[in-house]
Amino acid sequence: SIQDKNALHLYSVNGKYLGSETLKEEVSDMCVTGEYIVMGSLQGFLSIRDLYSLSLSISPLAMRRPIHCISVTKEYSHILVGLEDGKLIIVGVGKPAEV
């Protein structure tokens, strides 16, 4: 965060700059799973971005409380979101019939 601007920068394993995306929220935790980046913000939004283009895969989900931690299950079926007030939110991933 520089001068109230937040950005996500993408580099290759060899350190080559691949791109960046300006963010509206302040990221509190993130997790890379497969081809996606799952991010939580202090403003209470859960975002899922494509790992290579950094574009949003879905519109951010409002959790209404600051997010402190994020984890994705081993099967990539659920996202576990820990909130500031101590609540644990479990978000199903996939189509409604699969969840």
DSSP 35: T
- The predicted pLDDT at position 97 comes to 56
- The predicted pLDDT at position 5 comes to 80
For the chain, the structural domain boundaries read 2-92
**Backbone angle region of 14, left / alpha / beta, with phi > 0 → left and psi within -120 to 50 → alpha:** alpha
CB 59 within 8 A of CB 46: no
* pLDDT > 50? residue 20: yes
- Out of 2.40.33.10, 3.40.50.300, 2.40.110.10, 2.40.10.360, the CATH code matching 2-92 is 2.40.10.360
